[in-house]
Structure 1
């Protein structure tokens, strides 16, 4: 079973969502969109950092949809800033490394400040600017639930970690499959799959590209890696 098979299965179970935003209208709009695709979902909300932490501790949601500009608390002196949201994200990724996250914000560009944290996160991580259509937003929800990393809007350059380079070399120079790569690198098969989703994101290769040109992500990855000189 591939990752691309998972959305259908996800829709067949009762998903638990946590939607975080301090604007009532945005909260309602996001909930309405999620209800269309996940009518049986358990959807909870939070408006502050404090509420978010408490909800996650008590419910362990399948996905957190998070705005960056939120206040620490409902205290009148607590200001809603994107820096607050970034610090919350860093904390959540450290405490819950497998938590699926989708940032839905008008300040997505600020995520470049924590790009390394995102790259190390094992759970799904997608980004949706609030200007995106409802359908595109739901597509990013699907990807996050699959465990896909999609930060296309944040690309500022190519940075490939040494472990990812090892995967590229073993796959495209030696022609090894993922399980054999895991054995050679003395890591788990799951970690190899995790490295692949990070490699795709670093090289700017995403699921929608496969739909448009019919080429597999691996073929596109090999072509892109060769173009960049990462492999011969």
Structure 2
């Protein structure tokens, strides 16, 4: 279910989601009240929620939906790159926090990851971002660090998958997770970060 008070934005996101394999938009909402009324009727697996709504916030929805549709998982999709909003969304129970500058394919990847039970941000990530931690890779798993290093080598997702002996979809999931943990939005930013760190002698 997509919640945004701008119809054009909702329709654009719905088109992206409906094009992705295994995903279907079951409802849309333009306000807190409309969402809380419709969600129990359609019982979505995932709520894609904007933060700013005419009668409240996406945080209100995330908090309230736990009672009426407890199985639903929430993802924030917003234009606000704000650490306080990120922390508040996480505290309310959001499973991921995306900016509207994200590419369409990444939205679908994150939805699938969250639907599979993953949380793409944790409290340590938020704390590190808010404190401007020197090492944004501190919370990466060994597999995510390997993928990070290979992105820096210029390999494609398919090539990374072949090198690591995993499916390309698994590589994409790792990239989605490491982007969220590092506070980045695009793969190209990862490559640029690695290049900059290698110039200083860094290795994953």
TM-score bucket of the superposed structures, by smaller chain: 0.5 to 0.7
- Report the CA distance between 1:204 and its aligned residue: 3.1
CA distance in 2, matches of 1:92, 1:30: 21
Aligned match of 2:147:
212
- Which of 65, 70, 90 is residue 115 of structure 1 equivalent to? 90
After superposition, the C-alpha distances for 1:62-98 in whole angstroms (9 at most, x for unaligned) are: 11111111122xxxxxxxx6xx222222222355443
What is the root-mean-square deviation of aligned Cα atoms in Å? 3.4
CA distance in 1, matches of 2:32, 2:142: 32
Q: Quick one: structure 1 residues 117 and 69, their matched pair in 2 at CA, closer, same or farther if it must change by over 3 Å?
A: closer
**1:46–1:52 Cα contact (<8 Å) kept:** yes
Instruction: Give me the TM-score of the superposition, normalised by structure 2.
Output: 0.57
Question: How many residue pairs get matched?
Answer: 141
Mean CA deviation greater in 101-110 or 208-217: 208-217
Instruction: Give me the TM-score of the superposition, normalised by structure 1.
Output: 0.51
Confirm or deny that 1:58 pairs with 2:41: yes
CA distance in 1, matches of 2:69, 2:139: 26
Aligned match of 2:20:
37
**1:66–1:101 Cα contact (<8 Å) kept:** yes
Alignment partner of 1:25: what SS? helix
- Report the CA distance between 1:99 and its aligned residue: 1.4
Aligned match of 1:86:
59
**1:108–1:127 Cα contact (<8 Å) kept:** no
CA distance in 2, matches of 1:207, 1:141: 23
